[in-house]
Amino acid sequence: MIDLKTKKIIVTGGAGFLGKFVVNKLENAGCKNILVPKIEEYDLRNINAIRKMYKDFQADIVIHLAAVVGGIGANRENPGSFFYDNLIMGIQLMEEARLNNIEKFVALGTICAYPKFTPIPFKEENLWDGYPEETNAPYGLAKKMLLVQSQAYRTQYGFNSIFLLPVNLYGPGDNFNPKSSHVIPALIKKFYEAKKNDDKEVIVWGTGKATREFLYVEDCAEAIILATQNYDKSDPVNIGAGFEISIKDLAEKIKDIFKYNGRIIWDTSKPDGQPRRCLDTSKALNEFGFKAKTTFDIGLRKTIDWYIENVK
């Protein structure tokens, strides 16, 4: 087990939604030397900026959370930049980490890396059984290449890197921008505004039949810390809560919390995305003792409460 208190740690994306929770947990664990690189100083798409960062802050551990992400709409509009930015960041960060003798590199993948029609629950060994769902394949494949790099580098160089596959995250501080948000914040914003404006209907993308698994962001941060401390293999590990809910049931749940009395209109001209998502989370439990603690109903209410308190 790594004693993180004695380590110098870089958390890319540490000012972001998930990153803030990871940094907070590290600080609560007694970590004193944490660098959260800001894009103004270290644009991680630029190899010279990465080299400067590693020179300025001689880290022991890198936790790579930085990513260009978004929901179905953002993925459809920006497949090229989502592919390039995520791929170039990860590949160069890991290569320069190796050259700088970084002790451990923690790479975050994405559930979007799984094949479109993966048997439920998704098991790590299914990861290469087909092509990802088309709308987010460029993003998913860019992140998936970090697994290839991680395994190749361990084989050739003995480089210690791990690859985690988190499911869809949600929680306080999520991205509620309708142009780039994921489904939970997007629906919360829609129902909040419909209730406030007394709208008679809310339009939701797709058929509502697709299912998703959601992990509370603080639980994901806990999983990352546990894996950083205790896991030292390049085999991928799912990080999730081990349940699924249809988008229809999710919309109805949020509607009920807001006590909204209007109708839900399903815009079936818009895509559903991947038909089903639900992870087998047994490996995370067996390898480093992670099990999600926050029930979906509690996490959803905390997220909605945060949004109501912070909405502008």
The residues annotated with a catalytic role in the active site are: 139
DSSP state of 118: P
Q: Closest by alpha carbon to 206, among 71, 33, 42?
A: 71
Fill in the amino acid letter for 46. N
- Within 13 A of 173's CA, how many CA atoms are on the CB side? 10
132 forms beta bridges with 115
**Phi then psi for 198, rounded to 5 degrees?**
55, 40
Say how far apart CA 266 and CA 279 lie, in whole Å: 26
- Contact status, residue 115 vs residue 134, Cβ threshold 8 Å: no
Would you state the structure tokens that stand for residue 308, as one six-digit string? Answer: 């109501």
Other Cβ atoms less than 10 A from the Cβ of 163: the count is: 27
Q: Which residues pair with 203 in a beta bridge?
A: 265
Give 263's strand partners: 201
Which residue, 94, 131, 125, is CA-closest to 112? 131
- The alpha-helical segments, DSSP class H, found in 135-291 are 137-157, 183-197, 217-230, 247-257, 282-288
